[in-house]
Amino acid sequence: MAKATLYRHFHHKDDLVRAFLQLREDRWTHQWLEGEVKRRAATPRERLLAIFDVFHEWFQLDDFEGCSFINVLLEVCERSHPVREATASHLANIRIFLRVLAEGAGVADSDDFARKWHILMKGSIVSAGEGDRQAARRAQEVGGLLLSAALDR
């Protein structure tokens, strides 16, 4: 595609990146991740753990390149930058999905739990990027402990 065509649709590089992030949220978060989790598991508790089953398969792919949201977040350091704010917003939407699952599983403080679960998710992605192809299985094990502790309260 010629640069002129690109800039006809996106006046600034940041506009292009934000459009990409929105498309990525639609395809990666909603269609792929949420869809696969719902397909694989019936209860909210099972769905939380199924996230790491989906990740495990993803981490085995030869073309695994990590998470676009994490990659962009680390690339843009200025906190008030529109692209960084958009990225943070997309990551927050993932936590909404996690919070709903946590509430459905009976977790009392679903926001705190969702933030902790999201740390496990993002950590497993970074570990897989380092070459740990079992990162999702390790995160799932820790997640099981976290979930049990949250439900025992």
- Where exactly are the structural domains of the chain? 14-152
Coil, strand or helix at 90? helix
**Residue 53: partners with Cβ closer than 8 Å, 6 or more residues away:** 40, 136, 140
| CA nearest neighbour of 105 among 29, 60, 50 | 50
Per-residue pLDDT averaged across 140-144, rounded? 98
Coil, strand or helix at 28? helix
Report the CATH superfamily, name and number, of domain 14-152: Tetracycline Repressor, domain 2 (1.10.357.10)
Q: Note whether 73 and 88 are within 8 A (CB).
A: yes
In 3-state terms the chain splits into helix, strand, coil percentages (rounded to 5) of 80, 0, 20
Q: pLDDT category, 56, cuts 50, 70, 90?
A: very high
Mean pLDDT of the chain, nearest integer: 91
pTM: 0.88
**Residue 7: partners with Cβ closer than 8 Å, 6 or more residues away:** none
Residue type, 120: L
Per-residue pLDDT averaged across 80-99, rounded? 91
